[in-house]
Amino acid sequence: AARLNLTCSGVPEEYGGPGLGTLDNVIIIEELGWGCVGIASAIALNNIAILPVLLAGTEEQKREYLSRLTDQENPRLCAFALTEPEAGSDAASLKTRATREGDHYVINGNKCFITNGGVADFYTVFATVDPSRKHAGITAFLVEADTPGFSVGKIEHKMGMRASQTAELIFTDMKVPAENVLREEGQGFYVAMETLDISRPGVGALGVGLARAAFEEALSYAKQRVQFGKPIIRQQAVAFMLADMASKIEYARLLCYKAAWMIDQGMNAIKESSMAKYVGTDVAMEVCTDAVQIHGGYGYMKDYLVEKFFRDAKILQIVEGTNQIQRLVLSTQLMMG
């Protein structure tokens, strides 16, 4: 993947990457999601972790950190560390504490459910310099994996998406140079939100790719499985399920494309980005559920691919902001509009 530049697709050419846009990335992620959501998320989440550097990094930070991701001899990964045990949907309530001491910060706290945790070379870590300031105290840091005080905790044993590693991170009196702050102290929440605004169509596209794979399996099974003397696709109950599945995939894809295209045009796409994420991933869950249903009892067995697809679909409705949070973001935009 690194040799094909898939792990750094959004890195501009001036920093050694292919300089692809959000729409290009959405198309790539759909294809990877079609193959395996676990592999696709390890790659896609790496691209998401790059975004804070692209959005908020100084020229020096970009040169230093982006070049590691584009080095084809020794390609490295990065990870986005926002979520905490008590701060999931309510990201502004995070508790990881950063205290300024001279030319560095001392960071203490925990992160959980971090994709590529333990395999990344560096992390974008969000910590607060003052919890009483709520979101305005949150600061983004670039943290090297080999920093003293940094350790990897529990590696999660997940229902699906099992080809990507998900880990807990522990920071104990971890010293990070002040020059590793992204943008400025107190700007981290905005960096995180701007990152998620751009990344969400890609998560929708993961869902579209997965839904497509599940649909193809269900279609091929329905053509060859004979009951009541004919292939079950000739039974209207099954045929109509397949018709709905095909249509849902098309409209979910178009939403992801539209949101990504708007981002590439520099338009405000907060609303469309949230739509793309929740529609793409809700469609994945619906299509995967129907694909298992069409397979009947066989669909519940590990011998059939749809069993894996069903498990992978569930997490997509939760990651990168639950689908309820997406509706919250979208309805807030509607209220403001």
The strand pairing partners of 230, in sequence order, are: 227
Does 55 sit near ligand COS (CB under 6 A)? no
CA distances from 126 to 29, 81, 92, 187, 219 (A): 26, 6, 10, 10, 44
Residue 211 sits in the site that holds ligand COS (CB under 6 A): no
Residue type, 15: Y
Please state, in angstroms and rounded to a whole number, the distance separating the CA atoms of residues 75 and 77: 7
- Judged by CB under 6 A, the residue of 1, 39, 55, 92 near ligand COS is 92
Whichever of 172 and 324 has its CB closer to ligand COS, that residue is 324
How many other CB atoms sit within 10 Å of the CB of residue 336?
Answer: 8
* Count of residues interacting with ligand COS (CB under 6 A): 20
**Residue 329 contacts ligand COS per CB under 6 A:** yes
Give CA separation, 191 vs 18, 106, 113, 139, 225, in Å: 23, 20, 19, 9, 51
Q: How far is the CB of 21 from ligand COS (least distance, A)?
A: 19
Binding string to ligand COS for residues 298 to 327, with x set by CB under 6 A, is what? ----------------------xx---x--
By the rule CB under 6 A, 174 interacts with ligand COS: no
Among candidates 72, 149, 142, 140, which has minimal Cα distance to 110? 149
Residues 96 to 135 in contact with ligand COS, rule: CB under 6 A: 135
Answer for which of 24, 64, 194, 264 binds ligand COS (CB under 6 A) is 194
Closer to ligand COS at the Cβ: 80 or 150? Answer: 80
The amino acid sitting at 324 is Q
Nearer to ligand COS, 89 or 247 (CB): 89
**What is the helix (H) or strand (E) element at residue 173, kind and residue range?**
strand 166-177
Task: Cite the active site residues.
Answer: 320
Rule CB under 6 A: say whether 40 interacts with ligand COS: no
- Interface with ligand COS includes 196 (CB under 6 A)? yes
User: What whole-number distance in Å separates Cα of residue 109 and Cα of residue 93?
Assistant: 13
Choose one: 23-31, 86-94, 162-170, 176-184; the region binding ligand COS (CB under 6 A): 86-94
CA dihedral 308, 312, 313, 314 (to 10 degrees): 110
189 contacts ligand COS (rule: CB under 6 A): yes
Residues that bind ligand COS (CB under 6 A): 80, 82-83, 89-92, 135, 189-190, 193-194, 196-197, 270, 320-321, 325, 328-329
